[in-house]
């Protein structure tokens, strides 16, 4: 427990509001995406000819619903990184939530129209790549370099937590709305639409949280206080565009980068540097 040792790995009393908000966005957003992936697998096995009010069964349906989105995840992560260098990871996070909400709402009609379902699946995959990448980038701005590994682990834990919770709730929704067709118990249209509504609600919750995050980030001018679990006070500012670019090219084990934030760009003047222990 954080209160029992002087230097806890994660001090839950010193996480800071921006970090907590970021983790909540990741929980709701990635949880909704993962739950929708499960739904795609279910409705892709049901034919529209069964007159259940949904169904996407067709040759290659599963390949389209799961293959094309793999490209979307890579594209979403890449675009999120580019966007973060220009406007910051908080805005990229908000963009990912908006795209996910559109893709989920579209499934109210796409649950029986394969081309529309593929488009929605692609939008949701963009969301997945954007949220995870932006979550890591946002965490990187909220802690000094020596604590960023801890925060990255927290982001991944939230990704898994959101997936488990939303899938569990979605499964309960489907089970409570079963219907019988041709002597066989199947998921009803009400259950499928309620499932989609649940995922939509999660994205709406993520949208509310990300708006609060943006306001908090704007009000503080990007400044952050606290070492995200180290128990030591740290005050720095969010990096400028040139700083983000320096970080992007300093991801290798033998790289070192430093950049000066320009006060003319609207950020407080600060020096950011990163030098791996391996080359010190």
| Domain assignment present for 3 | no
Whether 131 and 266 map to the same domain: the answer is no
Whether 267 and 189 map to the same domain: the answer is no
**Per-residue pLDDT reduced to its tens digit, 165-182:** 999 999 999 999 988 887
Domain range enclosing 264? 239-279
Residue 50's pLDDT is what?
Answer: 85
| Domain assignment present for 81 | yes
| Domain assignment present for 232 | no
Q: Which helix (H) or strand (E) holds 224?
A: strand 224-225
Whether 58 and 142 map to the same domain: the answer is yes
Tokens 């890591």, residue located:
136
Whether 118 and 65 map to the same domain: the answer is yes
Chain-centroid distance of CA 175 in Å reads 27
Q: Which of 120, 118, 143 is nearest to 67 (CA)?
A: 118
Residue 49's pLDDT is what?
Answer: 82
Who contacts 239 (Cβ-Cβ below 8 Å, separation ≥6)?
A: 141, 247, 259, 261, 267, 270, 272
Q: Which of 105, 116, 103, 117 is nearest to 44 (CA)?
A: 117
Residue 122's pLDDT is what?
Answer: 94
For residues 64 and 114, give the distance between their C-alpha atoms in angstroms, rounded to a whole number.
9
| Domain assignment present for 231 | no
For residues 48 and 45, give the distance between their C-alpha atoms in angstroms, rounded to a whole number.
10
* Residues facing residue 257 across a β-bridge: 274
| Domain assignment present for 233 | no
Mean pLDDT by 10 residues, the chain (280 residues): 56 72 93 93 88 88 86 91 89 94 95 93 94 88 76 87 93 91 86 95 96 85 47 42 40 35 34 33
- DSSP for 121-183? HHHHHHHHHHHHHHHHHHHHTTS-GGGHHHHHHHHHHHHHHHHHHHHHHHHHHHHHTEEEETT
Whether 198 and 263 map to the same domain: the answer is no
Residue 131's pLDDT is what?
Answer: 93
Count up the domains in the chain and report the number. 2
Whether 149 and 263 map to the same domain: the answer is no
Whether 206 and 250 map to the same domain: the answer is no
């Amino acid at each position: 427990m954080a209160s029992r040792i002087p230097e806890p790995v994660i001090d839950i009393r010193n996480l800071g509001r921006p970090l907590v908000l970021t983790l909540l966005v990741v929980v709701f957003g990635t949880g909704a995406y993962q739950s929708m992936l499960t739904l795609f697998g279910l409705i892709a096995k049901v034919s529209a000819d069964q007159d259940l009010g949904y169904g996407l069964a067709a040759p290659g349906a599963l390949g389209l619903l799961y293959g094309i989105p793999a490209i979307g995840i890579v594209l979403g992560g890449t675009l999120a990184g580019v966007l973060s260098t220009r406007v910051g990871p908080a805005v990229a996070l908000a963009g990912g939530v908006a795209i996910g909400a559109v893709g989920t709402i579209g499934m109210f009609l796409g649950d029986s129209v394969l081309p529309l379902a593929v488009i929605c699946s692609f939008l949701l995959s963009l969301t997945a790549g954007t949220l995870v990448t932006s979550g890591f980038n946002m965490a990187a701005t909220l802690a000094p370099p020596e604590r960023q590994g801890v925060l990255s682990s927290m982001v991944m834990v939230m990704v898994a937590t959101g997936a488990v919770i939303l899938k569990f709730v979605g499964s309960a929704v489907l089970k409570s709305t079963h219907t019988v067709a041709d002597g066989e118990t199947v998921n009803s249209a009400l259950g499928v639409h309620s499932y989609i509504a649940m995922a939509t609600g999660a994205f709406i919750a993520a949208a509310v949280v990300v708006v609060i995050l943006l306001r908090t980030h704007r009000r503080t001018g990007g400044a952050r206080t606290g070492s995200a679990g180290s128990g030591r006070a740290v005050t720095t500012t969010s990096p400028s565009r040139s700083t983000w670019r320096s970080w992007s090219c300093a991801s290798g084990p033998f790289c070192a980068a430093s950049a000066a934030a320009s006060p003319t760009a609207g950020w407080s003047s600060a020096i950011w540097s990163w030098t791996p222990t391996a080359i010190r």
